[in-house]
């Protein structure tokens, strides 16, 4: 989705003031970098929200999410000796990837602060042509000047578990909007999709109805491509 989040990343020693916070304005495609203790428990929290779950290598971390506070506690194993990437899922459906490096320090804390960017708030104001287009996409309404074209013959996979097929094409004077059905074909595993999975040669923007797919679940994706771009199977 066209969401961005203002994320405050705090890695601090126990007892040190929160004034050492470093703020990052990011989108969910960016991988942040942080240091965690490889000998003590670490904590991840979401300001004014909750950590819903964490994807992390089982042989590197043991973790649990506290039901009352919504904080996640990470307990490193003896195998945390090199940088690894973890994915943090928040209660507001943000997915943040963080590359964490081991350090023989005291417990560390990561605090994520979510804030919808002004561009998302403008979805209700209609002041941006691209935002207006996205509003039409969400409603399934063909915008003025666009016509429905022949369904795209596009099929590809994302990883082992996600199948993608083209369903609908809106042809416009300057760009085409292509819709895809996305399905997690695994009956056991969740699957994560990202905008970069739908980047073709001349892709202008990508809209995901959801990023995290439960087992056997479906989602839809819309992309805008320039008129001359030919979206074929990957």
**Could you tell me the residue range of the domain that residue 201 belongs to?**
128-226
Using DSSP, state whether 136 is helix, strand or coil: helix
DSSP string, 92-109: TS-EEEEEEEEES-S--E
- For residue 76, the model assigns a pLDDT of 93
Judged by DSSP in three states, 139 sits in helix
10 and 89: one domain?
yes
Q: Looking at 53, 80, 113, which one is the last position of a domain?
A: 113
Q: What are phi and psi of 123, to 5 degrees?
A: -60, -25
The CATH number of residue 34's host domain is: 2.60.40
Looking at the fold, whether 175 and 215 belong to one and the same domain comes out as yes
78: tokens are 């003896």
* Same-domain status, 12 and 87: yes
For 122, which DSSP code? G
For position 101, what pLDDT does the model report?
92
* Whether residue 101 sits in one domain with residue 162: no
Both 134 and 175 in one domain: the answer is yes
Same domain, 63 and 139: no
- Look at residue 87 and tell me if it is in a domain: yes
| Domain match, 37 and 135 both | no
In a domain, 164, yes or no: yes
Residues 33, 90, single domain; the answer is yes
- Give the closest residue to 223 by CA, choosing from 182, 188, 185: 182
End-of-domain residue from the set 87, 113, 139? 113
Please report the pLDDT score of residue 17 as a whole number: 34
155 within a domain of the structure (yes/no):
yes
pLDDT digits (tens, 9 = 90+) for 48-88: 778 888 888 889 999 899 888 889 999 998 899 999 999 88
Q: Tell me, yes or no, whether 202 lies in a domain.
A: yes
Domain assignment present for residue 234? The answer is no
- pTM reported for the whole predicted model: 0.47
Same domain assignment for residues 55 and 140: no
Q: Is 159 inside a domain boundary?
A: yes
How much helix, strand and coil, in percent to the nearest 5, is found in the chain? 10, 45, 45
In a domain, 188, yes or no: yes
Asked which of 62, 85, 113 is the last residue of a domain, the reply is 113
- In this structure, are 59 and 138 located in the same domain? no
Number of domain units in the chain: 2
Closest C-alpha among 46, 192, 24 to residue 113:
46
Are residues 194 and 140 both part of a single domain? Answer: yes
Spans in the chain with pLDDT lower than 70: 1-27, 29, 93, 114-131, 227-234
């Amino acid at each position: 989705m066209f969401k961005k989040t203002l994320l405050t990343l705090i890695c601090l020693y126990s007892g040190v003031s929160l004034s050492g916070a470093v703020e990052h304005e990011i989108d969910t495609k960016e991988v942040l970098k942080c240091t965690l203790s490889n000998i003590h428990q670490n904590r991840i929290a979401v300001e004014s929200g909750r950590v819903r779950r964490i994807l992390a290598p089982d042989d590197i971390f043991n973790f649990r999410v506290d039901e009352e506070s919504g904080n996640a506690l990470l307990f490193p194993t003896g195998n945390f000796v090199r940088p690894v990437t973890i994915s943090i899922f928040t209660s507001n459906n943000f997915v943040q990837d963080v590359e964490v490096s081991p350090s023989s320090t005291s417990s560390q804390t990561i605090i994520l602060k979510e804030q919808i960017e002004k561009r998302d708030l403008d979805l209700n104001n209609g002041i941006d042509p691209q935002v207006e287009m996205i509003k039409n996409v969400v409603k399934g309404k063909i915008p003025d000047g666009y016509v429905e074209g022949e369904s795209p013959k596009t099929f590809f996979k994302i990883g082992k578990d996600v199948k993608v097929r083209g369903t609908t094409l809106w042809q416009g004077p300057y760009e085409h909007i292509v819709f895809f059905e996305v399905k997690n074909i695994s009956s056991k595993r969740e699957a994560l999709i990202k905008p970069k999975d739908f980047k073709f040669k001349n892709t202008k923007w990508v809209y995901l109805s959801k990023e995290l797919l439960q087992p056997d679940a479906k989602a839809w994706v819309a992309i805008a491509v320039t008129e001359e771009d030919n979206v074929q199977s990957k």
